[in-house]
Amino acid sequence: MSDFASMDSIVVRLAGDSGDGVQLMGSQFIASTALSGKDFATFPDYPAEIRAPVGTTYGVSAYQMNIGADPITTAGDTPDVLVAFNPAALKVSLPLVEDGALLIINSDSFTARNLAKAGYAQDPRETGELDSYQFVPVDIGHLNLEAVKPFGLSKSDGGRCKNFWALGLLMWMFDRDLTPIEDWIRRKFAKNEVVEDANMAALHAGHAFGETAELAEAIPRFNVSKAQHAAGVYRGITGAEALSLGLAAAGELADRPVLFCSYPITPASPLLHRLSRLGELGVGTFQAEDEIAAICAAIGASYAGVIGVTSSSGPGIALKTEAMGLAVNAELPLVIVNAQRGGPSTGLPTKTEQSDLYQAIYGRNADTPIPVIAAKSAGDCFFAAIEAVRIALRHMTPVVLLSDGYLSNAAEPWLIPDIGALEPIECNAPPAPDESREAEGMAFERNSETLGRPWIAPGMPGLMHRLGGIEKDISSGHISYDPENHQRMTNMRAAKVESVAKFIPDQKIEVGPDEGELLVVAWGSTYGPTYQAVQEIRRSRRDVSYVHLRHLMPFPSNLGEMLGRFNQLLVPEMNMGQLSTVLRDKLGVDPTPLCKVTGQPFLISELVEKIRSMLPPVMVVADESAGKGKAQ
Amino acid sequence: MSAVLTAKDFATSQDVRWCPGCGDYAILKAVTKTLADVGARPESTAFISGIGCASRFPYYVETYGFHTIHGRAPAVATGIKLANPEIDVWVVTGDGDSLSIGGNHLMHALRRNVGLKILLCNNEIYGLTKGQYSPTSRTGTRSPSSPQGSIGMPVSPGLFALGSGARFFARAIDTDKAGLGDVLKEAYAFDGAALTEIFQNCIVYNEDVFADFTDRKTAADTQLRLKHGEPMLFGADNEKGIRFNPDNFSLEVIDAKVAADQVLRHDVANKVVANMLVELKSPVALGVIYKNAADSFEKSWYAARKNGLKRSSKVADVLRSTNTWVVS
């Protein structure tokens, strides 16, 4: 048996055809990683096609995971281990992998035909181009078929078990207990005993291969340090799961049901799927006929006294904007979740981007301000969802909650929060009926602090009133075309959104001193790589600070003053500089944007390089005890 | 709360702002009278509309009311019905609102059978935007946007509804107090999507477009008033009847005195005949043309949920209902 290489963290990338079961293999490996007490972050990277032509580079589906003891906040820049199921997967992944990495390759798939499909003129195993790696060819296809032979499956059905075979090998390499995966196979295939048995056999065969094969000495084994997590009960969670559970928790905190109305769109659909299974938490779902119907039904739900939520991605949000204006004008609560993806138009449906910030803040006809917040990590989606509902109910306004394709699908270990410790969500209570007054006026008697109006719903006696998208008188609630009134109403709508800032905490510095040379300002899912990059720079004893924004409209009241205490501002974004523009617009600062729109998250190294380039060239004596990084 | 309400109790303080002589006045009157007649509770009633002349309706009814955006009223109404199925939800819409910009939502509200009472005030014109041809305008309609006459076939609300899977389709004339009232009562009682097409005269932009069959002087010969189980007779002396011609699969007018046994009896649940009745040009079929109850969308939606929208579990427990591990 080979010795274990001890590592603080390790990045593993699985890559294969869309139909190879790579995503399943990755998520099962991560489930076992979680139970073994390691920190992790994942990045499922898959094509827009459900089943692209077999063997092609554009059909490659990958699952990258970073596992270890350090606080892990990204799926890792460069894989230490690559498992490639076919030549196309190798071809696509190799540029990401650095010299010395371990390549496990399914050699059965390296046929002349597959090599040609991947665009290899020559077999890369023979050209020497893999010499700089630890290269381990394994006949995964063939060995798997041998393992599942007793179950009488067809060659193609039997071949589908190969992800479990490879998973078995990976589990052996990482010295993991197979029990949780065995349990999962039993549950998943309970209705199909042959498939259950075959997958189980494949899993065990892959594991035994590591144990017994002569080749085994060439396969390294890894002992990854455990994470130093705070005490508590943990689970694994994806952004979509966390956001769904957060919406349900918000319903519980507000003691109101939630009606989630949506139309399928990548990468927002997982929310609809998750929430459809949370009926026991007072959550209803409605798959509408289109994006517009989805938001309109959510508005109808809010009008009827239930927390209305809709979700989509950029193109779908564009269709919803007229209805967002209605919710603003009608002063109804609503949460609009945008799982952002690459654009414009259909763009890159399965790839991530942060390019809908302008759309969220400015993207409506007329002066139609809406509060905007963003989640920063998979687990944070839970708290962001609660915050969105809290603002919506407190101010009686729609709220945009920005997530993205990366957050939706990424998984991480998550300390299960104490729901009892969360502050209940207050609703604007309806007034008592008063026969001496018109209900219209009572329906629009706004709270002087929040400018939220009472949440009155059909079914409440004595409070019948008429509501609509037409401008209404600021106090009587009747239709009004009065010029002065429209000015007052427009001012009121702006003041309402500004008033959100009075209720949110002051912006805190995430890392570093509260004044100095350079402040990195980020929002959304760039949190993971930005946090790591700033930490790396700081380990090299250079001063850089970092703030991460939850609230994008309005900004926390102290943000302008905070930004003013730094000589330079750097804003890394997966767009062409949208937050930079908004900061310039709202706070009059002049940040330096760092833009990336490749559909891929930032690498830590890209951020480190940029931060270094902005710091003054001071010679610092490297102190090994301060950390891994070295100063320039 | 159980005081008997009259039509007047359903009127709001707002000045009604339709053009003098607009058919919408008569429709408003018929609706408020129906609400009183059926004993509707104002606090449990909501009128939802989109955009257009007819969509101003909610401002004039002393119930809950929501004037939304163009074409989307059925979608908003669906959300209300799911959130609180106890509310009587009326949707008031026009031909442009429901069959042009909002066609998709009407189709889906009908096929889902959402418990909405939908009043489609069809005047075959865009009134609020000053007279452009609408999706129900007859071919050749001259309007500011079609000075040479509109081209393309108009949509038939009846065929659209039946094709979409509507389970209730009725027709009435705006000023026909009795006929409209009867239809509205049946729509009110229907547990599902009830679409009523109301021929509504736009006195400014499309005056008398329905006069060929609404004129009282000739009504006996141009209108077929349908009643479930009764023969399809019309004419001043009920001397004419409707027969199914098996040679060309169509309905035709026959002399009811000569061939009484061949006159069809109206069966509201017969969808094949309903499809032919909505296409009948002379006489024009009025009343409940098709009615075939099935579980409403909200009823099925709630039936699939053990506790409706009530919570039966705690978030804290659901968060732990997966693989967890303890760090100590």
**Domain of A550: which CATH number?**
3.40.50.920
Residue A629: pLDDT band (50, 70, 90) is very low
Alpha helices by DSSP H, A422-558? 439-443, 483-499, 527-539
pTM of the model: 0.93
User: Which of B1, B66, B309 has its CB closest to that of A306?
Assistant: B309
Domain of A367 in residue numbering reads as 235-421
Residue A249 touches chain B, beta carbons under 8 Å: yes
Are A469 and B69 an interchain contact pair (Cβ–Cβ within 8 Å)?
A: yes
Residue A344, pLDDT > 70, answer yes
The pLDDT value recorded for residue A52 is 80
Are B69 and A460 an interchain contact pair (Cβ–Cβ within 8 Å)?
A: no
Are A251 and B311 an interchain contact pair (Cβ–Cβ within 8 Å)?
A: yes
User: Which of A232, A284, A289 has its CB closest to that of B82?
Assistant: A284
Phi, psi (degrees; rounded to nearest 5) at A408: -55, -45
The pLDDT value recorded for residue B255 is 97
- Residues of B with CB below 8 A from A306's CB? 83-84, 309
The Cα of B111 is separated from the nearest Cα of chain A by a number of Å equal to 11
Say if B246 falls within a structural domain.
Answer: no
Same domain, A115 and A64: yes
Contact A527/A404 with Cβ under 8 angstroms? no
Chain B: residue whose CA lies nearest to A305: B83
- Residues of A with CB below 8 A from B13's CB? 438
Contact B238/B227 with Cβ under 8 angstroms? no
Residue A290 touches chain B, beta carbons under 8 Å: yes
The pLDDT value recorded for residue A569 is 98
Give the domain CATH number at B119. 3.40.50.970
Residue B101, pLDDT > 50, answer yes
Q: Cα–Cα–Cα angle for A161, A164, A169, nearest 5°? A: 135
Residue A245 touches chain B, beta carbons under 8 Å: yes
The Cα of A530 is separated from the nearest Cα of chain B by a number of Å equal to 27
pLDDT digits (tens, 9 = 90+) for A39-50: 999 999 888 887
Say if B243 falls within a structural domain.
Answer: no
Are B44 and A469 an interchain contact pair (Cβ–Cβ within 8 Å)?
A: no
**Which residue in the block uniquely carries the two structure tokens 């009504």?**
B219
The Cα of B66 is separated from the nearest Cα of chain A by a number of Å equal to 5
Residue A215, pLDDT > 80, answer no
Please give the Cα distance from B244 to B248 (Å, whole number): 9
Residue A505: pLDDT band (50, 70, 90) is very high
Residue B87, pLDDT > 80, answer yes
Chain A: residue whose CA lies nearest to B298: A286
Question: Taking Cα atoms as reference points, which of A595, A265, A256, A547 lies closest to residue A403?
Answer: A265
User: Which of B87, B312, B323 has its CB closest to that of A180?
Assistant: B323
Q: Around Cβ B133, how many Cβ atoms within 10 Å?
A: 26
pLDDT digits (tens, 9 = 90+) for B64-81: 999 999 999 999 999 999
pLDDT digits (tens, 9 = 90+) for A83-94: 999 999 999 999
The pLDDT value recorded for residue A627 is 44
Residue A619, pLDDT > 80, answer no
pLDDT digits (tens, 9 = 90+) for A263-282: 999 999 999 999 999 999 99
Same domain, A497 and A389: no
Q: Reduced to 3 states, what is the DSSP secondary structure of residue A401? A: strand
Say if A349 falls within a structural domain.
Answer: yes
Say if B280 falls within a structural domain.
Answer: no
Please give the Cα distance from A530 to A581 (Å, whole number): 19
Contact A142/A86 with Cβ under 8 angstroms? no
Chain B: residue whose CA lies nearest to A469: B68
pLDDT digits (tens, 9 = 90+) for B21-69: 999 999 999 999 999 999 999 999 999 999 999 999 999 999 999 999 9
Which value, in Å, is the radius of gyration of the alpha carbons in chain A?
27
- Report the percent of chain A where pLDDT is more than 90: 86
- Residues of A with CB below 8 A from B313's CB? 280-281
Mean pLDDT of chain A, nearest integer: 93
Average pLDDT over residues B163-170: 98
Helix (H) or strand (E) run with residue A297 in it: helix A291-303
Contacts of A117 (CB under 8 A, 6+ apart): A53, A54, A55, A56, A87, A88
Residue A293 touches chain B, beta carbons under 8 Å: yes
Are B75 and A420 an interchain contact pair (Cβ–Cβ within 8 Å)?
A: no
Residue A286 touches chain B, beta carbons under 8 Å: yes
Question: Taking Cα atoms as reference points, which of A597, A600, A590 lies closest to residue A569?
Answer: A590
Q: Reduced to 3 states, what is the DSSP secondary structure of residue A630? A: coil
pLDDT digits (tens, 9 = 90+) for A51-84: 788 899 999 999 999 999 878 999 999 999 999 9
pLDDT digits (tens, 9 = 90+) for A286-319: 999 999 999 999 999 999 999 999 999 999 999 9
The pLDDT value recorded for residue A620 is 53
- Residues of B with CB below 8 A from A278's CB? 318
Q: Which of A462, A479, A502 is the last residue of a domain?
A: A502
Please give the Cα distance from B216 to B220 (Å, whole number): 8
Residue A37 touches chain B, beta carbons under 8 Å: yes
Mean pLDDT of chain B, nearest integer: 96
Cis peptide before A554 (omega within 30 of 0): yes
Are B14 and A231 an interchain contact pair (Cβ–Cβ within 8 Å)?
A: no
Chain A: residue whose CA lies nearest to B324: A235
Same domain, A135 and A210: yes
Same domain, A58 and A127: yes
Say if A230 falls within a structural domain.
Answer: no
Average pLDDT over residues A157-163: 94
Average pLDDT over residues B196-216: 96
Say if B112 falls within a structural domain.
Answer: yes
Same domain, A149 and A198: yes
Question: Which of A203-217, A385-399, B2-16 is least confident?
Answer: A203-217
The pLDDT value recorded for residue A1 is 44
Same domain, A213 and A326: no
Same domain, A21 and A91: yes
**What domain count does chain B have?**
1
Give the domain CATH number at A262. 3.40.50.970
Alpha helices by DSSP H, A547-603? 559-563, 578-587
The Cα of B216 is separated from the nearest Cα of chain A by a number of Å equal to 36
DSSP state of A487: H
Say if B232 falls within a structural domain.
Answer: no
Say if A359 falls within a structural domain.
Answer: yes
Average pLDDT over residues A593-610: 96
The pLDDT value recorded for residue A239 is 96
The pLDDT value recorded for residue B26 is 96
Are A459 and B44 an interchain contact pair (Cβ–Cβ within 8 Å)?
A: yes
Say if B316 falls within a structural domain.
Answer: no
Chain A: residue whose CA lies nearest to B305: A279
Residue A303 touches chain B, beta carbons under 8 Å: yes
Same domain, A389 and A263: yes
Residue A227: pLDDT band (50, 70, 90) is confident
Same domain, A273 and A154: no
- Dihedral (CA of A79, A81, A84, A85) sign: negative
| Residue from A280, A291, A422 to probe the interface with B (highest B Cβ count within 10 Å) | A280
The pLDDT value recorded for residue A19 is 85
Chain A: residue whose CA lies nearest to B60: A466
Are B305 and A279 an interchain contact pair (Cβ–Cβ within 8 Å)?
A: yes
User: Which of A248, A261, A459 has its CB closest to that of B79?
Assistant: A261
Contacts of A44 (CB under 8 A, 6+ apart): A23, A26, A62, A63, A64, A409, A410
Residue A299 tokens, joined: 């508005």
Please give the Cα distance from A566 to A543 (Å, whole number): 11
Same domain, A489 and A523: no
- Report the percent of chain A where pLDDT is more than 70: 97
Say if A600 falls within a structural domain.
Answer: yes
Domain of B114 in residue numbering reads as 7-209+295-303
- Dihedral (CA of A292, A296, A301, A302) sign: positive
The Cα of A267 is separated from the nearest Cα of chain B by a number of Å equal to 23
**Which residue in the block uniquely carries the two structure tokens 């190799």?**
A94
Say if B65 falls within a structural domain.
Answer: yes
**What domain count does chain A have?**
4
Residue A398, pLDDT > 80, answer yes
Residue type for position A447: N
- Residues of A with CB below 8 A from B44's CB? 458-459
Contact A298/A261 with Cβ under 8 angstroms? yes
Residue A528, pLDDT > 60, answer yes
Alpha helices by DSSP H, A365-475? 380-395, 405-409, 439-443
Same domain, A482 and A572: no
Please state, in angstroms and as integers, the Cα–Cα distance from residue A204 to each residue in A140, A170, A459, A622, B67, following that order: 13, 11, 61, 48, 64
Q: Which of A451, A468, A502 is the last residue of a domain?
A: A502
Are A286 and B79 an interchain contact pair (Cβ–Cβ within 8 Å)?
A: yes
The β-bridge relationship of strands B132-133 and A102-106 is unpaired
Say if A434 falls within a structural domain.
Answer: no
Q: Is A155 exposed, middle or buried, given 0-12, 13-18 or 19+ CB atoms closer than 10 A? A: exposed
Residue A150, pLDDT > 80, answer yes
Q: Reduced to 3 states, what is the DSSP secondary structure of residue A45? A: strand
Chain B: residue whose CA lies nearest to A258: B309
Say if B155 falls within a structural domain.
Answer: yes
Residue A532, pLDDT > 90, answer yes
Q: Which of A366, A389, A421 is the last residue of a domain?
A: A421
Residue A466 touches chain B, beta carbons under 8 Å: yes
User: Which of A296, A458, A467 has its CB closest to that of B75?
Assistant: A296
Q: 40-99 in A: which are within 8 Å (CB) of B? A: none
Same domain, A286 and A414: yes
Residue A128 touches chain B, beta carbons under 8 Å: no
Phi, psi (degrees; rounded to nearest 5) at B9: -65, -15
Most distant pair of Cα atoms in chain A: their distance: 92
